[in-house]
Copies of this chain bind each other. A is one copy, B any other.
């Protein structure tokens, strides 16, 4: 067993190295690469990914997995060995089920579709992407087919992002969520809108970056194992447990952009930085799902970073950093500004309350497209109708309608959006559980102390990496399966107070 297990681990480490080398090439592409590097970078990434895929589908790896499984299982279901084997097997099977030729064709289709989308969106030209998008729907369905049988054709696609989460259970959660959010948005938008003009004064870039970094440090982000750079779209990426980086985007006329994207990405990074170091270079050394990842970023961004206790403590410091811009702005005005709810067209700019509705409509469209009950040609009209009914705004064009998100144009159709809403649900459920364990949390947060909260998250979530499934984490950390109740209660309490409902 020992020699075989070591062999297994060194093969998995090699795969891990290739994957993280590719991640660095992508980080560089988004941060510092000169434009002349583009063509070769695409080829270099394809090479690394092809070799990584070949390593994962090497029959010798599958054989080794089979060989070590009995001994690993004897160590107990929760043992490192058993979990490693289970997770590695899942990765290997996923890589092996899909024929290499299909993988290549699928990647090529999406590269072409993405390229076309980058021009079609500014030109508001849905017709230019429709045929390839239809092909993407077809190939996404074919991809799912390699994992048959399944309860729903979207299940294998969702599983890529949120392992073991089924379409049916998401549908049930989202029906509840939608049923509650639509009237909540109605009620809020009947109230007087908050004044957010204080966020749109001139905020120098360097000062914004300094404020964001300082808060990330207080949250516990370890700068000796990370760094922050500027990119067009903020993201978190990891090259090892000792090198977890975040990026942000700064707008001098919008204080909220860099600030909240920094708290959000720092939330993702805190998760990865706190995974059990002994998992390094194995497939366990990663967040367990997109949904759980999003729960961590949203928890720090929203549950903490847009809360009243937090700003009671931090707002005087923010005013000191921006005396000319915020000196005359009260805490109450600022707090209302950063929590302003409004009907809007763009998901990524949406507030906490409307956000879920943006996600649910995309999730529903994905299912209809995959099921065949919605044709790609009918998507623009369906989008307009649903935005009007759910969000209360009608997109004047497709640019800010069904062309707005990159997801369906560079990834599969299916599984692309649910994580954002699942993460929001989990963020409230996790925060609730932490609060039950530590009723002093709001006072600590107000005092600028985040250690109790972070330690609770590390112990209950972060440290486990992929060794626990999302369901195991939620149940283990909160005592209940995932539910909409904590999140809806959070929204109703917070926004009820804010908007006098």
Contact = CB atoms under 8 A, between A and B. Distances in A.
A37 B281 contact: no
A113 interface: no
Query: How big is chain A's contact interface, by range?
Result: 35 or more
Contact of A239 (B14, B40, B47, B280): B40
Given A36-B240, A39-B240, A40-B241, 19 more contacts: A13-B43, A13-B47, A14-B47, A17-B43, A17-B47, A18-B47, A20-B40, A24-B24, A32-B227, A32-B229, A34-B226, A35-B225, A36-B224, A36-B225, A36-B226, A36-B242, A39-B242, A40-B281, A41-B243
A224 B36 CA distance: 6
B224 A34 contact: yes
Contacts of A36: 222, 224-226, 240, 242-243
- Greatest chain B CB density within 10 A among A17, A39, A223 is at A17
Contacts of A25: 21, 24
Closest 8 CB pairs of A and B: A40-B240, A36-B225, A37-B243, A36-B242, A17-B47, A17-B44, A36-B224, A37-B242
Contacts of A281: 40, 43
Contacts of A447: none
A18 B239 CA distance: 17
Interface of A: 13-14, 17-18, 20-22, 24-25, 28, 32-41, 43-44, 47-48, 51, 222-227, 229, 239-243, 245, 280-281
Given A25-B21, A25-B24, A243 B44 contact: no
- Greatest chain B CB density within 10 A among A22, A35, A43 is at A43
A36 B269 CA distance: 14
A41 B227 contact: no
Contacts of A24: 24-25, 28
5 contacts: A36-B224, A40-B239, A40-B241, A40-B281, A51-B51
B41 A239 contact: yes
Contacts of A41: 239-240, 243
- Copy number of this protein in the oligomer? 2
Contacts of A224: 34-36
B40 A242 contact: yes
A38 B240 CA distance: 9
A237 to B, nearest CB: 12
- Greatest chain B CB density within 10 A among A229, A242, A280 is at A242
Contacts of A40: 17, 20, 239-243, 280-281
A34 B240 contact: no
A105 to B, nearest CB: 18
Nearest to A43: B17
A20 B40 CA distance: 10
Contacts of A242: 34, 36-40
Contacts of A32: 32, 227, 229
A243 B34 contact: yes
A280 B33 CA distance: 18
A256 B28 CA distance: 30
Contact of A34 (B14, B39, B48, B225): B225
Contacts of A13: 43, 47
Contacts of A241: 40
Contact of A37 (B14, B43, B223, B225): B225
Contacts of A38: 242
Contacts of A37: 225, 239-240, 242-243
A48 B21 contact: yes
A41 B20 CA distance: 9
A344 B279 CA distance: 51
A227 B33 CA distance: 8
Nearest to A32: B227
A48 B243 contact: no
A113 to B, nearest CB: 24
A13 B48 CA distance: 12
Nearest to A225: B36
A285 to B, nearest CB: 10
